[in-house]
Structure 1
Amino acid sequence: MSSTIALPSIYNSISVKIPPHIPLTQTELVEFPAFKSWISRLTSSLRSDNNPDGYTLRHLEILSVVRFGSTRIGFLMLNAEVRDADDKVSLPGTVLLRGPSVGILALLHPEGTPKNNLYVILVLQPRLAGATTSMAEIPAGMLDDHGSFAGAAAKEIEEEVGITISEDKLINLSELAIQSSPLLDKDQTKESIGLANAPPISESPNQETQKQNLDGLFSSAGLLDEVITYHAFVHEIPEDELEQWKGRLTGLRDKGERITLKLVKFDELWKATRDSKALCAWALWKGLEEAARLPY
């Protein structure tokens, strides 16, 4: 028999249906970081003045839970019932929660060559969701327990590329891009406050809360909550070492990673991969470079 729980009052005490075959407690749900962030942003967005149709969240139903190990929640899929004030329109509600990620534009610059003579390090690895055993993409990974986006990016670079780099050497491309944009369109219509630094929902209504800095880009906002923050770095190498980077094997074998490195000229990246993360990072670099906002 299914169980029904109620979210805390700060989330309007919305009811949540949990089917009997899904072992999930109320505490696990509300403490799952991806759910906590998503429900906070959504609740804030629905309360804002940028909700002219009066959409409200009526009900949630958990569809599935994937755990990493025996206890930790990795992914959670749910269905959210959101309807307008006249109860005539229902929004598509299937959501897959996995939390934030980082993507890294790892660049090699042969010493003594022009500054724009850059090579992108791509990683070739199996991707079952893409039905391939060799997807060419930029290094990326979930935030997990790294504590910060920069820390997660540095860790992914070390694991997937084999370069140890300090966090202060990273260039936060998505943050630089969003800092230069007020998130307004040509008609001065605001994006949902849920995206543009929404104040998080607080258990203490009278307590001032800091805005959430959402400086990443959504990978597929029609289904995923995932926001990817893009970083870049330039690694200087002797020109005669360039060939040594091609075909190098990396990855954490104990985690099932088997990664081969591939080098691509930066200007040719847009046609050398089907990885949208790579194209986003490439476009951010090009845009910031053109706007003279790139610290390189």
Structure 2
Amino acid sequence: MATTSTLPSIYNSIPVTVPPHISLTTTELLAFPAFKAWISRLTASLRAENNPDGYTLRSLEITNLVRFSSSKIGFVMLNAVVRDAEDKLSLPGAVLLRGPSVAILPLLHPTNTPRDNLYAILTLQPRLPGATTSMAEIPAGMLDDHGSFAGAAAKEIEEEVGITISEDKLINLSELALEGSPLLDSSSGTKESVGLADAPPVGSEAGEARKLDGLFSSAGLLDEMLTYHAFVHELPEEELSQWKGKLTGLRDKGERITLKIVKFEDLWKATRDTKALCAWGLWKGLSQEGRLPY
């Protein structure tokens, strides 16, 4: 038999139903960082001043759960019942919660060559959801216990590319792109800015600044917000060929990664990975505006 509990009053005491085949308590759900971040942002965004259409969250139903271990939740799938003020319109409510991630654009620059003579590093690895054993993409990973986006990015670079770098060498492309963006300007009155950018998550300290400098990968289903970083690794031109076909990855985690090197200018047509295309576009746009610290 399904069990129904109620979220704390700061989340408007929304009822949450868990089917009998899923073992999940309200305490566990609220301790899952991805859920807590999502429900607090959604609650803030549905406040009257951020919600001109009068949408309200009526209830939540947990539909699936994946655990990374007995004590660690990996993914939560739920259905959110959200209806308008007149109770005539219901929004699509399927939500997959996995939390924030980092994506890294690794670039190689042969020394003593023009600054725009850049090569991108792509990783070739199996991706079962994409039904392939060799997806060409830029390194990416979930943010877990590294403490910061930059720290997680640096760790992903080391694991997947084999380069150990300091965090201060990383260029936060998504943060630079959003600086001064109308998406973060509530006075513009644009739909994009309503609620999301300006409403501090419910439960945060008064006046606490919360920057959302990531980009959503698929906002129609996923909560995942990707923060894009880049770095440039200088190397002698004669060493460039050594990177082609190099094997990396953590074998104990089932990773078997081969590196592929492509000219940066050709990256947009060398992969099906939207993360790579997004990073490429951010770099190009920032470069055109002279805002890259490189």
TM-score range normalised by the length of the shorter chain? over 0.9
The answer (yes or no) to whether the contact 2:84–2:90 under 8 Å persists in 1 is yes
Contact kept? 2:109, 2:119, Cα under 8 Å: yes
The verdict on how the C-alpha distance between 1:103 and 1:24 changes in structure 2, with shifts beyond 3 A counting, is same
The amino acid across from 1:256 in the alignment is G
Aligned-partner Cα distance in 2 for 1:197–1:117 = 39
Alignment coverage as a number of residue pairs: 292
* Residue equivalent to 2:250: 252
Q: Which amino acid aligns with 1:14?
A: I
What displacement does 1:288 show?
0.3
The offset of 1:49, in angstroms, is 1.7
Is residue 137 from structure 1 mapped to residue 134 from structure 2 by the alignment?
no
Residue 51 of structure 1 deviates from its aligned partner by 1.2
Q: Percent of counterpart pairs with the same letter?
A: 76
CA positional deviation for 1:194: 3.7
Equivalents in 2 of 1:200, 1:233: separation in Å?
31
Q: Where in structure 1 are there 5+ consecutive unaligned residues?
A: none
1:52 and 1:25, CA in 2 relative to 1: closer, same or farther beyond 3 A? same
Compute the displacement of 1:48 (Å). Answer: 4.5
Aligned to 1:52: 52
Match of 2:84 in 1: 84
Rounded to whole Å, the distance in 1 between the matches of 2:229 and 2:48 is 31
Which residue matches 2:292?
294
Q: Secondary structure at the match of 2:90?
A: coil
SS at match of 1:49: helix
The one-letter amino acid paired with 1:196 is A
Q: Kindly state the Cα deviation for residue 188 of structure 1 after the two structures are TM-superposed.
A: 4.6
Aligned counterparts of 2:197 and 2:38: Cα–Cα separation in 1: 14
User: 8 Å contact 1:123–1:160 — kept in the other structure?
Assistant: yes
* Partner in structure 2 of residue 195 of structure 1: 196
Task: Tell whether the 8 Å contact from 1:76 to 1:97 is kept in structure 2 after alignment.
Answer: yes
Gap runs ≥5 in structure 2: none
Displaced runs of 4+ in structure 1, greater than 4 A? none
Post-superposition offset of 1:256: 0.4
Q: Which amino acid aligns with 1:200?
A: P
The TM-score with structure 2 as length reference comes to 0.97
* 1:34–1:99 CA contact under 8 A, matched in 2: yes
In the superposition, relative to structure 1, how do residues 75 and 283 fare at CA in structure 2: closer, same or farther (>3 Å)?
same
CA contact (8 A) 1:200 1:211 kept: no
Give the corresponding residue for 2:69.
69
Residues 108-119 of structure 1 mapped to structure 2, 5 A cutoff: 108-119=108-119
Distance 1:195 1:87 in 2: 23
Q: Deviations over 1:104-159 (max 9, x none)?
A: 00000001111000000000000000000000000000001111000000000000
Relative to the length of structure 1, the TM-score reads 0.96
Contact residue 108 and residue 234 of structure 2 kept, 8 A: yes
Partner of 2:181: 181
For 1:218 and 1:41, locate their aligned partners in 2 and report how far apart those are by CA, in whole Å: 14
Q: Is the 8 A contact 2:173 2:279 kept in 1?
A: yes
Amino acid at match of 1:30: L
Shift of 1:175: 0.1
Cα deviation digits, residues 22-81 of structure 1 (max 9, x gap): 000111001100000000000000004231110000000000100002220000000000
Is the contact made by 2:51 and 2:194 (CA closer than 8 Å) also made in structure 1? no
How large is the RMSD of aligned CA atoms in angstroms? 1.3
Q: After the TM superposition, which residues 103-182 of structure 1 pair with which residues of structure 2 at under 5 Å, given as runs? A: 103-182=103-182
Tell me what 1:232 maps to: 230
Q: CA deviation at 1:198?
A: 2.5
Distance 1:102 1:141, change over 3 A: same
- For residue 68 of structure 1, what is the amino acid of its counterpart? F
Separation of aligned partners in 1, 2:210 and 2:63: 28
Structure 1: distance between partners of 2:198 and 2:80: 22
Q: Are 1:200 and 1:209, in contact at CA under 8 Å, matched by a contact in 2?
A: no
Any conservation in 2 of the 1:198–1:211 contact (CA below 8 Å)?
no
Hey, what does 2:266 align to over in structure 1? 268
Contact conserved, 1:174 with 1:229, CA < 8 A, in 2?
A: yes
Q: Distance in 1 between matches of 2:210 and 2:38?
A: 12
